[in-house]
Every structure is written in structure tokens, then in C-alpha cells.
Structure 1
Amino acid sequence: MRVLIAAGGTAGHINPALAIAGALKKAAPEAEIHFAGRREGMEYGLVTRAGYPFHHIEINGFQRRLNAENIVRNVVAVWHLALSGPRTRRILNEVRPDLVIGCGGYVSGPVVRAAARRGIKTAIHEQNAFPGVTNKLLARDVDLVLAASADAVEKLGAPGKTFVVGNPVRPEVLHADRAAARQKLNAGDRTVLLSFGGSLGADRINEVVADLCAWEKQQGANVLHLHATGRRGVELFDRLQKEKGFAPGENLVVTPYINNMPQLLAAADLVIARSGALTLAELEAAGRASILIPSPNVAENHQYYNALELQKAGAAVVIEEKDLTGRRLIDTVQKLLGQPGKLEEMGACAKKLGTPNSLALITEKLLALVR
């Protein structure tokens, strides 16, 4: 059995795709799994590090806000779109897949659509309650639609072939050893804070986390803080360190990107992050308390509504970006750390929300489709 998975753009699309690939390989060891994506996107590094064959296709989204820079980007997008047809045909001819799966990102569009037109079995997985444009367009053409949330079923427009399966979480997240992860970090009895704003980074999160780091240094807080700036936030955070008088050291580790998220989630006591669907799925799987800062720049503000579910369950504190300041974040962290047992209680509430059998459900549906 040959499988081609198309995914790109952000870790929120790529990590679920890698989880599905691993589950398929475990269930069907004879399966030959390939990936398609952008070489300039982060999918290239993540997929090749995982050991899967990678097939390059360049595809970009169109920018709605028109200015000189975006006009140039749209011209490039048109050029890549024109070339995507021949490139997609070449990939399908090389791989000769029995199954093509789209896991989100613009790259999924041409690959999955071309496979469906050839009569190859096709499926998509939608991670969010508010589906992306690409998956809404693909839903009518594919054989199988997998949705993380029941809220997405009607919005995808193909209820007869849509199944709610939750969001897949890598087995490494589910089974990571907390004691070993903390020992590797030399955490000791310190409270471990983990903060990140996504694979590309988020300026506002970097700014307020810098205020938090400065406060931790001033107070001599008994914490180990792990922060990922995101690829675009490296220079900003470096400048903020100098302005606010703190630096990485024994109690603060700063990296552009987190390559070992399962281990860091296992070690963490409190996570500060956006509320994308996959982030929440991993927080639930790991059973971690969180401070969630929904991105305001997403369709129908879906991250805010995702985050509210965790807050209602007692698993998280939600701070909207319009209300976010360094002082607000510091006060929230200080309040949580000042209540013995609070973080453990919130983590237990998060654990109850998870769908630990998501990968098993997805694998079952995909193999049934092919067989």
C-alpha cells in the first residue's frame, strides 16, 4: 500500500499528518508513506527528520489586503498555481499512491483534487471547528472526510461521508515520561513554565513573555522557563532581553522552535500558548494547565471559542489579545503559582477533555477506505 500525505504551512497541519503517518505504518507495516509539501515551508524539515520521502510542490495563498508587497506575492502565487498541475501529476506518477490524504495547508488543494480526479482513494482531516477554505472546497470531491469537531460537520458540507474523530496526538505526547523529561532538564523542584506563540512566532506573545521573564529574574522565582520565540521572533526577543535586563541562563531557556514538544509538555507544569486546535489537543492529552491567548487573526475567531471550552472545564485561563499586557500575564502566573495544587487540578481537568483514541479511529477509517 502506498500513501501520499499532503500537508503544509504550520506545525498545526504537519504534526497531525506525521501522527497519522506513524499510526498507519504501525497498523500496516508494509505501507510506503510519502509526503508532499513546500521545500521552503517548515514541513520539509519536520518530514525529512522523521524519515519519510518528501516531494516538493510550491503553492501559496493569495493575499486579500492589497499593497505593493502583497501584489508581488499574488503574482508569485499565480505563477506557482500555474505550475502546480504539472508538478502534481509528476508526484502522483512517481508515487503511484493507493490513498492520498490532505491534512491542511494550501498544498493539500492541488494534490488531493488531482488524485480524486484520477479515481485514487482520497481523504482529508480538518483540525478546526471552523474549517479552512481548502478543506471546504475539497470535501465534496474526496471519498472520506475526517473532522476533529462535530461543529465542523455541517460547515464542511458533506455530512454523509464525514466522521468525527477528534484531533490526532502523537503517541510520544501520550506516553512521554514526566520524571525522565524533568530530570533531563535538571528541573528539580522548580515549576516548569513552557511558552510559545506558534512555529512562526507571535510578536505580542514575545513581548509579554519578555515582561514575565524580567519579573521572574527580579523576584528570584523558583521556576524554569522554556520559551520558543518562533522563527520570526528571534531578533525581537533578543532586543527585548537587552532592553529589560534578562538573559537565558540556568532558569531560562530560549529557542526559535521546539523540536521536542512531547518531552517539554511532559516536563511542564504550566503552558502559555495560542489556542489552535492541535495545541489544545496536546494540552489535553498531556494533562497540562494553561494560559491561553487566542489569535485574533483567524477565521470566525475560532481560537477564542476553542479556548473557552478549556476555561469552562477549569483547565485554562483565557486572556484575549486585546486585553493582554505584561502586567496581566504576570498577575495571572503569580496567582496560579500562589495556589498549592492549582496547576495539578487544572491539568486533571484538561486530561478529561482529550480524545486519546483519535489516531485509532482515523487509522481504522483510512484502512477501511483502501481495503
Structure 2
Amino acid sequence: MKIMIACGGTGGHINPALAIAEIIRSHVPDADILFVGTPDGMEAELVPKAGYKMEHVNAAGFQRSLSPENILRNFKAIGYAVSGGNHAFTIVKNFMPDLVIGTGGYASAPVLNAAQWLGVPTAVHEQNAYPGVTNKLLSRRASAVMMTFEAAKDLFPASAKTVMTGLPVRSGMTRKNRESARRQLGVGDSMLIVSFGGSQGAKCLNDLMPEIMQRHLQSDMDIRHIHAYGKFGRNTVPDELQTRGIADDPRLRVTEYIHDMDICLAAADLVISRAGASTLCELEAIGRASILIPYPTAAENHQYHNAMVLGKAGAAIVIEQKDLTADVLYQHIESLYHDPEKRQAMHQRAGALFLTDTPDRIWNTISGILQNASNI
């Protein structure tokens, strides 16, 4: 079995691709899997680190706002579309996979287009509730479109062969015991808040969290707080905590990155974060109440649509960034602190959204495509 997986750009596209590769290898240990991504994306480091072969194509997205800088980027993207498309065609033709799977990112379009021209079966995995333009186009000729959220179904062309599979999450997320995790972190009976904005950090959260922390430390609420400020917060958040005199408070753990995220999420009473698909599926997997602040400039505003899946289910409170202030956020924290029954209901509603058989659904989709291809 030869499988090609095209992905890239951000962890939101790469991690599902790696998880799908693991699912394939769990059923066919000797499967020949080749990844294709861009040479300057995160995939160039993460994929080889995970032990998989990788080829590179040059690809870039088109910028919609036409500033002088973006016009130059668009000319570059046009050049990449030609050279990257030709290179992708060569890569697919030389490897001749049984199936090509795209999980999004700039590399997906040229690779899946090449596969479709060569008559190789293709599948798309869409992580978001609002699919992007590229996946909508690729879906027309794909053998299957695997969806994370049911809400995405009506946004694909009627001809698309959509199937609800969910998004594979890190295996440790579903195995962590809450009580054990809380003992490891030493939080006792305190309410534990875990907040983060991804590896880069979220400026809107970093700007507010020092004040939020100071306010709940000065209140009569028994709260512990773990916050990751990311790369872009390393020069601001620690200094602000020092200025406020709370940097060394034992009830706080503030770091650039949370390396034990599985433990922290398992122990959490409330999670405050952006609304990337992987994060939301992990919240569903462990059943955690959340306050979600969607990234407003994400393509197609997809984080808002992702967040609203949980919001409409009563599993999360959704605050648009334009409405986010310290007062608004603190009021929600205070309200949830004093209403443990509501928190518990949110936990349960989040857990009810999780598809426990996602690996089986993905494998059944892949094996079905391969079986159909072999019968032609």
C-alpha cells in the first residue's frame, strides 16, 4: 500500500495528517507513506521528526487585501502555482500512490490536483466547520471528503462525497484521568483555569491575562491559573506580571509553552483559548467547559464557525474578539466559578460531541476507497 499525504502551514493541518498516518500504519504496518509539504512550513520539521519521508513543493496562498506588499506576494504565488504544480505532478507520477490524502495547507492543492489529473484516487480531510475555497474545489473530484463537523456538509458542493469522521486527537488526551492529573499539578480543590493561544500566543489574551489573574488573586475565589503566552508574548507578559507583583504567586503558572498539555487539560475546570479545530476536538475528547475567542482574521472566519458548534451545544461560551474586554472575560469566569452545576453541564455537553470511533471511521473511509479502486 502506497499512500501520499499532502499537508502544511500550521499544526492544525499537520497534526491531523500525522494522526491519519498513524491510523494507516496501525492497520498496515508496512504501508509506504510519503508526505508532501512546503520547504519553509512547520511540516518540514515535524514530519521527518515523526519518522516519515517527505518531499517538498513550493506553494503559497493568494492575499485578498491588495497592499503593495501583498501584490508582490501574489505574483510570487502565481509563480509557485506553475512551478509547484509541475513539481507536484512529477512527485505524484514518480511515487504513483494508491491514494492521495490532503489535510489542508498550501501544498494540498497542487498535489491533489496532480493526483486527480493522473487518475489517482484522492481524499480530503476538512478540519473546520466552514471549509476553505481550496477544499471545496478539490472535493468535486475527490473520492471522499472527511469532515470534522457536521455543519460543514451543506457548504460543500452537492456532488461531494462527504463522510463524518471527526478529527483524530492525541491518544493521551482520552486516557488521562482527571483526579490523577489534578494530583500531579497539586491544585487540590481549587478551580483550575488553563488559557493559551497556540504556539505563537494570542495577543488579545496576553494583554488581558495579567489583569485577570490579579483580580482573581485579590478576590475570595480559590482559583489556580495556568497560562501559555507563546512566542509573541515572551517580551511582555512576564514583565507585566512583575510590574503587578504577582509573578511569583504559587497559584499561577505562566510559561511560553505548556509541555504537559494533556495533563493540564485533564485537570482543568475551565479552558480559555482560540477556536482551532484540533483544540476544540481535544476539549470534546476530555469533556471540558470553555470560553472561546475565535481568531477574527482566520480564513473564511472558520474559527468563529468552529466555536459556534460548541457554543450552540451549550458546551462553550463564545466571545468575539471585538467584544473582548477584561471586564467581560472576568464576569464570565466569576459566574462559572460560582455555578459549578453549569460548569458540569458544559463538561457533559462537550463530551457528548466527541466521536469516540474517529480512527475507525477514517480507516473505513480509506480502505473503502482502496477497495473500490481495486475493483475498477
TM-score normalised by length of structure 1: 0.89
Separation in 2, partners of 1:120, 1:291: 43
Q: Say if 2:291 is the partner of 1:291.
A: yes
State the Cα deviation string for residues 33-80 of structure 1 (Å, max 9, x = none): 232223432233433333222333332212121223323433433343
User: C-alpha displacement at 1:109, in angstroms?
Assistant: 0.6
Alignment correspondent of 2:263: 263
State the Cα deviation string for residues 220-251 of structure 1 (Å, max 9, x = none): 86433222223334334345435544436643
1:83-98 alignment runs, 5 A limit: 83-92=83-92, 95-98=95-98
Alignment correspondent of 2:374: none
Separation in 2, partners of 1:230, 1:190: 25
Alignment correspondent of 1:195: 195
1:22-171 alignment runs, 5 A limit: 22-92=22-92, 95-159=95-159, 161-171=161-171
State the Cα deviation string for residues 124-162 of structure 1 (Å, max 9, x = none): 011223210110121123222222333323422153522
Question: Aligned partner of 2:127: which letter?
Answer: Q
State the Cα deviation string for residues 94-150 of structure 1 (Å, max 9, x = none): 644222100111221111111222222210011223210110121123222222333
Alignment correspondent of 1:308: 308
Alignment correspondent of 1:332: 332
Note closer, same or farther for the CA distance 1:220–1:92 as it changes in structure 2 (3 Å cut): farther
Alignment correspondent of 1:241: 241
Note closer, same or farther for the CA distance 1:258–1:68 as it changes in structure 2 (3 Å cut): farther
User: C-alpha displacement at 1:270, in angstroms?
Assistant: 0.9
Alignment correspondent of 1:13: 13
Paired residues of 1:113 and 1:141 also in contact (CA < 8 A): no
The alignment yields a C-alpha RMSD, in angstroms, of: 2.6
User: C-alpha displacement at 1:18, in angstroms?
Assistant: 2.1
Paired residues of 1:130 and 1:299 also in contact (CA < 8 A): no
Segments of 5+ residues of structure 1 without an aligned counterpart are: none
User: C-alpha displacement at 1:368, in angstroms?
Assistant: 1.6
Identity %: 45
Separation in 2, partners of 1:332, 1:88: 49
Alignment correspondent of 2:351: 351
Note closer, same or farther for the CA distance 1:151–1:217 as it changes in structure 2 (3 Å cut): closer
Paired residues of 1:315 and 1:349 also in contact (CA < 8 A): yes
Separation in 2, partners of 1:88, 1:349: 43
TM-score normalised by length of structure 2: 0.87
State the Cα deviation string for residues 252-297 of structure 1 (Å, max 9, x = none): 3334444543333222221001223332222111100101112322
Which stretch has the larger CA shift, 51-60 or 289-298? 51-60
Note closer, same or farther for the CA distance 1:51–1:241 as it changes in structure 2 (3 Å cut): farther
Segments of 5+ residues of structure 2 without an aligned counterpart are: 372-376
